[in-house]
Amino acid sequence: MSDSFGSVAIVGAGQVGTMLGLALRAAGASREVTIFDRDADVAARSVARGAAHRVANRLELGADVVILALPVSAIVRLLDQSGAEVRPGALLIDTGSSKARIVGAMRALPTGVHAIGGHPLAGTERRGPDGADAGALRGATFALCPVRDDPEALRRARDLITAMGARPLVLDAESHDRAVARTSALPHLLAFALARATAPLAADVQALAASGYRGATRLAHSDPAMVAAFLAANAAETRAAVAELREALDDLVACLDDEHALATALAESR
């Protein structure tokens, strides 16, 4: 599979960008992988882990494949400011966890650029290059959201994702955002809310916390800036998801004084 995709430029050397670079290099899928980050030390750590052949000293968008591994707002801003630097014929894909805004920005690119929205569902709460798991993509779902009628973009993106060991799932941006608000945004919001609610009892909670509490608050260890970025980018769907959760919680709370009714309601939720 060596050199299947030509040159690859990854923009963003955090956990996700490093993870993708590690998977690409393990597959021998590119003759050269470069990685750029506005923090040169982060980029150097990513290269030291083996995610790229070299650090790009500046933003380079002229590769055969360009991967934008940045927060949603940063991806949209980069597309608006520098999208014209992506050369015709290149595959452009991102990793943002909210797709509608990104796909909308990609539609403004020249039709010669094979752009497609992407989202690997393989991240963790661990930050930076050191948090990247080289095998996390193996068997993971990688959402693909088409920008326009472009079979070449879809074919090449599928091949790229398959080479990294992930499973491509094609759906429109709106369906993606609706689902992810409930399966990712809501759990993150809940974890931070639970940690916030129990903060005044920190000493007691620490002494009594078992696996249930630790599991429920695990996502609260995530980078707050990263979480805020993807929650804000998908705010409307996240609000709808919270409203649905409130309704479900109210139904359960209404049964608290009736053990049988509560057990029945809980059983229906299993």
* pLDDT per position as a tens digit, 26-55: 998 888 999 999 999 999 999 999 999 999
* pLDDT per position as a tens digit, 52-73: 999 999 999 999 999 999 999 9
Q: Which CATH code for domain 7-171?
A: 3.40.50.720
State the chain's mean pLDDT as an integer: 93
Using CA atoms, how far apart are residues 109 and 13, in angstroms rounded to an integer? 24
Question: Domain 176-269 in CATH: superfamily?
Answer: 6-phosphogluconate dehydrogenase C-terminal like domain (1.10.3660.10)
Q: Where in the chain is the domain with CATH 1.10.3660.10?
A: 176-269
Write the CB contacts of 196 (distance below 8 Å, at least 6 apart in sequence): none
Using CA atoms, how far apart are residues 58 and 118, in angstroms rounded to an integer? 23
Token pair recorded at residue 23: 């998977």
Q: Where in the chain is the domain with CATH 3.40.50.720?
A: 7-171
Q: Please give the pLDDT value at position 1.
A: 43
| Helix, strand or coil, per DSSP, at residue 164 | coil
